Amino acid sequence: MNLVIALLPALGWGLNPLLISKIGGKPVNQTLGTGIGALIVGIIVQMMYTPHVATSTFILSAFSGAFWVLGQIGQYTAYSRMGVSSTMPISTGVQLVGTSVIGVLMFGEWSGVGAKIVGFAAIILMIIGVTMTAVTDNSESRAGLASGLAVLLPTTVGYWIYSALPKAVSASGVAIFFPQMLGMCLAALLYALIGGKGLSAFKERTSWLNASAGMIFGVSALAYIFSAKANGVATAYVITQLSVVISTLGGMLVLHEHKTKRELSLTLIGLGLIVVGSVMTAFLG
């Protein structure tokens, strides 16, 4: 049963990009739908567990969720410009590198010389992996890649802050779950009003269809909380890294995103390096 719980986040987060792409819509529709779906799950969890959380923790957690939306906007935009199979390994790798560095600099993680050597070796592996997945053989793909990276890389800061803020509070994952989902929804609503130029995004069918992706994200995030308790944080985290494998291969097999033989080989090797690097960092503490 513990293994099933551990696999749920990997499956949910891995399949989510494919579902979002299949449903379609503009990034504003996808972001709005995701925020609404995530809040629905957050409300259900809050009603079931009614955890107590301090006001300061609630606010920080809500800001964490809001910054997640910034990262998600960049990711959704990149899907349309460079494809899921190119976006996900790059996005995941950059997230992992950034959160690892923040953990060391701000929270004193990887204590000891040995841990730092292994940790930074893992970062180098992930950077090499990201670089390999970004290789493309034709000018049209390179143009799409450049356009996608121009949005994806700066907005990844949102994911870094989303991961870092909860470490600054002493509260359980269930306690901060609802405020995070609320922050996601409020930020998504704000983006829809600004990016959607008013209420138009609220009237479009794809916005509401994409709420299913938000619910899957919320259930996956909740499953990760329980998996960390049942299996330990390191094991739970490592298993979630299967999500990038699922989404990358799914982009090619399900969404029919084409890669040349060389691109495919480099993507698979790069993907492997990203996963190996993330596994190395998971056990450093």
Q: Tell me what pLDDT residue 106 has.
A: 86
pLDDT > 70 in the chain, percent: 99
Distance, CA of 266 to CA of 87 (rounded, Å): 14
Model confidence pLDDT, tens digit, residues 64-110: 999 999 999 999 999 999 999 999 999 999 999 999 899 888 888 88
Residue 142 has pLDDT above 90, yes or no: no
| CB within 8 Å of 113: residues ≥ 6 apart | none
Query: Which residues span the domain enclosing 18?
Result: 2-282
103/160 Cα distance (integer angstroms): 10
Query: Considering its fold, how many domains does the chain have in total?
Result: 1
- Alpha carbons 206 and 27: distance in angstroms, whole number: 10
pTM listed for this prediction: 0.92
* pLDDT tens digits for range 21-66: 999 999 999 999 999 999 999 999 999 999 989 999 999 999 999 9
